[in-house]
Amino acid sequence: MHPAGENQPDQAQWHRYCTFRLSGRLYGVDIRDVKEINTEINITPIFHAPKEIKGYINIRGQVYLLFDLRAIFCFAEKPIDEASRVVLFMPDIGGLCGILVDSIEDVVTVDENLIENRRQHEREVPEGIERRGADIGEGVCKLPDELLIILNAGRLVQAVGNLRNRQYKE
């Protein structure tokens, strides 16, 4: 692992993650998927939306859909406080959207060989069993002090979209 600003010999073997805390755990998303981190948390609720959709936020005239990771992961609710932040994704991830997190940590650079990618070892799904739609984990990486759980921002947005579509069909 190298600090974010340090030059590495072969950039193709290193990945950078924007890390954040959620329910005491360390998560990260690829830094290339993050547009910005914002302290603006004036949320307009969306009535009849699934619990995974927190609401809308307006940042500099742009309206973003805000997802609640705590609800997605079935963690207990937590009031928004001074450490809470909004991570906004790049528009190509899934439109204007972001996630509400408990707090922001550092940008972490890790060697791709240290990432245990569970998708490498996946087996075929047995016949008659559907793979869970909210499959958003990319892998884990052991840092010096703790584990980093790596999320795929694109699959996260897609999973919440699937939940929303399922709700409107019922």
pLDDT tens for each residue of 91-111: 998 889 999 999 999 999 998
Range of the structural domain that residue 44 is part of: 2-169
Identify the CATH number of the domain in which residue 154 sits. 2.40.50.180
Q: How many structural domains does the chain have?
A: 1
* 102 and 22 Cβ atoms separated by less than 8 Å: yes
pLDDT tens for each residue of 26-82: 999 999 999 999 998 999 999 988 889 999 999 999 999 999 999 999 999 999 999
The answer to whether the Cα torsion of 30, 34, 39, 41 is positive or negative is negative
Element spanning 103, H or E: strand 103-111
This prediction's pTM: 0.80
